[in-house]
Amino acid sequence: MILYNVTVKIEHSIHEDWVQWMKAVHIPDVLGTGLFTEHKLCHLLGVDESDGITYAVQYFCPNMESFQLYQQQHAPRLQKEYAERYKDKYVAFRTLMEVVS
């Protein structure tokens, strides 16, 4: 199983909007590709939140082929929508992991 993790620090001023939009729009759009089997939205604890609140959004897919298909056919559009909505109000980095246990 492959775990695609997106860690995001979102500014306080738009935090509530971001959480609602992620739950109502973005995460359903990602899952709607049919390439991921589940997700988790996690608030990171014990980190400095003076300049924003940090979340990890985790998406699980069955294999690397599914992830690569997502990257090729869906990620550019979904990431563009995200970037246009939140512009310079966030920082994000992505991590790809193989679940071994």
Domain of 79, CATH number, reads 3.30.70.100
What's the pLDDT tens digit per position in 30-68?
Answer: 999 999 999 999 999 999 999 999 999 999 999 999 999
How confident is the model over 74-99, as a mean pLDDT? 95
Integer angstrom CA distances of residue 30 from 38, 51, 58: 10, 27, 11
Q: Into how many domains does the chain fold? A: 1
Contact (Cβ atoms closer than 8 angstroms) between residue 24 and residue 6: no
Domain that holds residue 94: 2-6+9-98
Q: Identify the pLDDT of residue 11.
A: 97
pTM for this predicted structure: 0.93
The pLDDT mean for the chain works out to 96
Q: Identify the pLDDT of residue 3.
A: 98
